[in-house]
Amino acid sequence: MIGRYLCEQVRIEAKAFLPELFGRETTNDDGIGGEHIYMPRFNHRGKKRDYLRGFGVQFWGIGCQAGAGNYASSVAGFGPALKREIKRRYPAWVEVHPFGEVLPRRDNQVTVEGTPEDQYGVPLPKIAYSIGENEHRMANEMYDTVEMLLHEAKAEIFELERGRTGRNGSAIHEHGTCRMGDDPKRSALNKFNQMHRVNNLFVVDGSAFPTATEKNPTLTILAMAWRATDYLADQLRKGTL
The 10s digit of each residue's pLDDT in 173-197 is: 999 999 999 999 999 999 999 999 9
- What's CA 55's distance to the chain center, in Å? 10
Please report how many Cα atoms fall inside a 13 Å half-sphere around the Cα of residue 78, on the Cβ side. 0
Confidence tier at 63 by pLDDT (50, 70, 90): confident
With H, G, I as helix, E, B as strand and everything else as coil, classify residue 9: strand
With H, G, I as helix, E, B as strand and everything else as coil, classify residue 93: strand
pTM, to two decimals: 0.89
- Cβ neighbors of 186 (< 8 A, separation 6 or more) are 1
Confidence tier at 222 by pLDDT (50, 70, 90): very high
pLDDT of residue 70: 87
21, amino acid identity: L
> What is the DSSP code (8-state) at residue 77?
-
* Known catalytic membership, residue 173: yes
Helix (H) or strand (E) holding 16: strand 14-17
Catalytic residue from among 136, 173, 175, 196: 173
